[in-house]
Amino acid sequence: MKFRTLKRHFKEGIKNTLRNGWMTVASVGAVTTTLILVSVFLVVMLNINHIADGLENDVEIKVLIDFTAEQADKDNLEQEIRGLQGIDSIEYSTKEEELKKLMESMGEQGGDWALYEQDNPLNDAFIIKAENPHDTGSIAAEIEQMDHIYRVNYGQDYVDILFTFNQYVRNIGMVLIAALVFTAIFLISNTIKITILAREKEIGIMKLVGATNSFIRWPFFVEGMLLGVLGSLLPIIIVLTGYYFLTQNVEMLQRFSFVQLLPFYPFAFQIAGLIIGIGVVIGVWGSLMSVRKFLRV
Amino acid sequence: MIEMQDVYMTYPNGVSALNGINVSIDQGEFVYLVGPSGAGKSTFTKIIFREEVPTKGKVVVNDKETSELKWKDVPYFRRNIGVVYQDFRLLPKMTVYENIAFALEVIEETPKNIRKRVMAVLDQVGLKNKARFIPDELSGGEQQRVAIARAIINHPGVLIADEPTGNLDPETSWEIMHILEEINAKGTTIIMATHSKEIVNTVKKRVIAIEDGVIVRDERRGEYGYEI
C-alpha cells in the first residue's frame, strides 16, 4: 500500500470518528467502562501475583544435619546436594548461627534463649533455594534420601496450599479478564454496527467502483483503534491516580513487610501500556467484526 | 465481450431468476434489455458485474469466467465494468468532483492524475461548471450524468445501465441517451435495461427481451414490443 493511501485511510478514519458524534461517545463509553473494570482487576491481579511470587521465592529448604556427621561428611553432603538438578543456592549455617537467627526472630523474648548458647540443642544446617520454587518438594524428597540427614524442612503444609491458592487466583483472574474483554468487544461491535448502517450506501458504492475489501476496511480499523485509545484515557487516569495514593498513603500496608505492592514506577507505565493495548484490541476487533458482514457482496 | 452459456440462477430463497440463458455480446455493441418487471433483467446485469454467481452455467466477461474468479480478484474485475443505476447512488455529502474522484482514489491513482481525469470526464458529460456542487443541488438528469462520469472514468470495457432514465423526464432521458451513445461510439459495450418504449423504438439497437428468466427475443435492430 502506498503511503498516500495510508494517509487517506487515517484521515478518513478520524473524520468518521468525529462525524459519528454520539455514537463515538457511546463506543468510547463502552470501552471506558470495561477498561476501568479490567484495569482495576489487572492491578489487583498483578499485585496478588507479585505478592505470591514473593512468597514463593521465600520458600527454602532447611536441611538439618545429623549431630554425628563429621566435617568430611558435611562436605560430601554439600557436594551431593549441589549435584542435584535445579538448585539455585546452598548456604551452610552452623548451629550457633541458627540459634542467633532464632533469637532474633523472637524479638525481646529472644534473650531467654541465651542460656542455650552453652549447650546448643540445634543442628547445623544447609539452607537451600530451588531455581523454580515449584520444584521445592521434589528436591526436598531427594535430599531426604541422602546420608547424615537429621530432617528436611520446607514448610510442607503451607507451601502446597500456597501454590494451589496462587494457581487458582491466577486462573480465575485470567478468565474474568477475558470475559470482560469479550463483553466489551460485543458492545463496541454493536455500537459501531449502527454507525456502519448509515454508511452502508457508501460501502456499496466503494464496492461498485472496485474498491478492495482491505481498502474499505482500513478506515474502520483506524476508527476502532482511535475508539480504543480514547476509551483507555480515563481508565488510565483513574487507575494510576488511585494506585499512586494507595502506594503513598496507606501506611497499614507498609507494616506488613510481606505485602510488597509493585512500586509505582515502572508499574505505572506497564499498566498504562497494557490498558491502551487492550483498548485498541477491543476497538479494532469490535470495529472489524461489524464491518465484516457488509463486505460480502 | 460477454458470453453466457446455459446460465441458471436460483436465489437462496428459491426464486429462480434465470432459466437457461445463452447469449453472446460483442465488444462495442449497444444492447437494450427489455421485459416485464421481475423477468430477470436485473439478475442478468448482476451476473455480468459478478454481484451474483450463477447456480449453473458459464459466464465470461472480458475473457474472465466469473465463477472462477477468486474473491480477492473481484474488485479488480469490477474496475473494468462501469455501472449506472436508476437511483444514481451518489454520496450526498460529497461534491460532484469528490464523488467522481472517489472512484480513482479507490484504485490509488495519483492526485495529479485524479484532477486531470475528473475534469476531463466532467467535460465529457457537460458538467465542468458544476464540479463544486453537491448532488442535492443538481437536477435528476445532472445527477445521472455524474453517475455516468463516475462509471466511465476508468475507461471500462463494459457499461451496465440499469434503467438509467427510469427517474427522469423524457427530455432529460434523451440527454442521457446521447451521452450513452457517445460513450458507445468510443468502443464501450453498453447494456441498458429499460422500460422506455420511446427510446428503444427511436434509437434502434439490438434488443434482448427476457421473460421468466429466458430470452424470448433477440433482434439486431429491434422494437420494444410491449404495451405500456
Helix H, strand E, coil C: the string for chain B is CEEEEEEEEECCCCCEEEEEEEEEECCCCEEEEECCCCCCHHHHHHHHCCCCCCCEEEEEECCEEHHHCCHHHHHHHHCCEEEEECCCCCCCCCCHHHHHHHHHHCCCCCHHHHHHHHHHHHHHCCCHHHCCCCHHHCCHHHHHHHHHHHHHCCCCCEEEEECCCCCCCHHHHHHHHHHHHHHHHCCCEEEEECCCHHHHHHCCCEEEEEECCEEEEEECCCCCCCCC
Which domain, by its residues, includes A76? 60-154
The residues in A 153-212 lying below 8 A from B, measured between CB atoms, are 201-202, 204-212
Cell numbers 484495569 label which residue?
Answer: A39
The yes/no answer to whether this complex scores an ipTM above 0.90 is no
A102 & A15 share domain:
no
- Smallest Cβ distance to B91: which of A8, A205, A212? A205
Tell me the pLDDT of chain A averaged across its residues. 83
Bridge partners (DSSP) of residue A91 are A127
Shared-domain flag, residues A264 and A280: yes
Closest CA to B159 of B121, B192, B126: B192
Domain count, chain A: 2
Q: At what angle do helices A264-292 and A213-249 cross, to 10 degrees?
A: 150
Cell numbers for B168, please give them. Answer: 427522469
Contact status of B130 with chain A (Cβ, < 8 Å): no
Q: What value does the mean pLDDT take over residues B49-75?
A: 92
Chain A contact present for B70, CB below 8 A: no
Q: What is the CA radius of gyration of chain B?
A: 17
What is the arithmetic mean of pLDDT over A82-92?
86
CB atoms within 10 A of CB B108: 13
Are B75 and A213 a contacting pair at CB < 8 A?
yes
Question: Is it the case that residue B191 has pLDDT exceeding 70?
Answer: yes
Say yes or no: A6 contacts chain B, CB-CB below 8 A: no
Residues A46 and A117 in one domain: no
Asked whether residue A211 falls in the same domain as residue A291, the answer is yes
- Residue that is last in its domain, among A154, A177, A194: A154
Neighbours of B154 (CB within 10 A): 21
How do residues A11-31 score in pLDDT, each as one tens digit? 888 888 887 788 888 888 888
Same-domain check for residues A50 and A64? no
Q: Show which of A154, A171, A205 is a domain's final residue.
A: A154
B228 Cβ contact partners less than 8 Å away, ≥ 6 residues apart: B195, B197
Nearest Cα residue to A137 out of A98, A163, A165: A163
**Interchain contact B58–A (C-beta under 8 A):** no
Q: Contacts of residue B111 in chain A, CB cutoff 8 Å?
A: 4
pLDDT at A42: 83
Say yes or no: A190 and A143 in one domain. no
| Distance of residue A3 Cα from the nearest chain B Cα, in angstroms | 10
Considering the domain architecture, whether residues A195 and A291 belong to the same structural domain is answered as yes
Instruction: Among A130, A154, A178, give the residue marking a domain's end.
Output: A154
A70 and A118, same domain (yes or no):
yes
> Are A202 and B150 within 8 A, CB to CB?
no
Q: Which residues of A touch B78 (CB under 8 A)?
A: 207-210
Nearest CB among A8, A210, A213 relative to B78 is that of: A210
Best residue of B64, B88, B98, B106 to probe chain A, by most A CBs closer than 10 Å:
B106
Q: Mean pLDDT over residues B155-184, rounded?
A: 93
Cα–Cα dist B27/B2, whole Å: 8
Order of strands across the sheet that contains B64-65: B16-25, B2-10, B56-61, B64-65
Of the candidates B159, B221, B210, the one whose C-alpha atom is nearest the C-alpha of residue B188 is B159
User: For residues A134 and A52, is the Cβ–Cβ distance under 8 A?
Assistant: no
Q: Place A251 in a pLDDT band, splitting at 50, 70 and 90.
A: low
**Residues of chain B contacting A206 with CB distance shorter than 8 Å:** 102, 106
Q: Return all residues near A109 (Cβ < 8 A) that are at least 6 apart.
A: none
DSSP single-letter state for residue A83: T
For chain B, the average pLDDT equals 93
Cross-chain residue pair B75–A5, CB shorter than 8 Å? no
CA angle B106, B108, B114 (to 5 degrees): 90
Is A46 found in the same domain as A165? yes
Q: Are B167 and B84 in contact (CB under 8 A)?
A: no
* B184 or A47, higher pLDDT: B184
Q: Across the interface, do B76 and A8 touch by the CB < 8 Å criterion?
A: no
Distances (CA, A) of A198 to A193, A201, A294, B151, B187: 9, 7, 12, 23, 38
Higher pLDDT, B172 or A120: B172
Q: Nearest C-alpha of chain A: how many angstroms from B221?
A: 31
| CATH number for the domain harbouring residue A65 | 3.30.70.3040
The answer to whether residue A220 scores a pLDDT higher than 90 is no
Give the predicted TM-score (pTM) of the model.
0.70
Residue found under cell 427475443: B217
What's the gap in Å between the CA of A188 and the closest CA on chain B? 26
Among A186, A164, A210, A147, residue whose Cα is nearest residue A287: A186
Put simply, the answer to whether B107 touches A210 (Cβ < 8 Å) is yes
Cβ A184 vs Cβ A282: under 8 Å = yes
Q: Are residues A169 and A150 in the same domain?
A: no
For residue A209, give the chain B residue with the closest CA: B103
Residue whose entry in the numeric block shows the C-alpha cell 445501465: B161
Q: What backbone phi and psi angles, to 5 degrees, belong to B61? A: -125, 130
- How much of chain B, in percent, has pLDDT values that exceed 90? 83
* Residues A95 and A221 occupy one common structural domain: no
Pair (A98, A32) in one structural domain? no
CA distance A93 to A99: 10
State how far residue B118 is from chain A, nearest Cα, in angstroms.
14
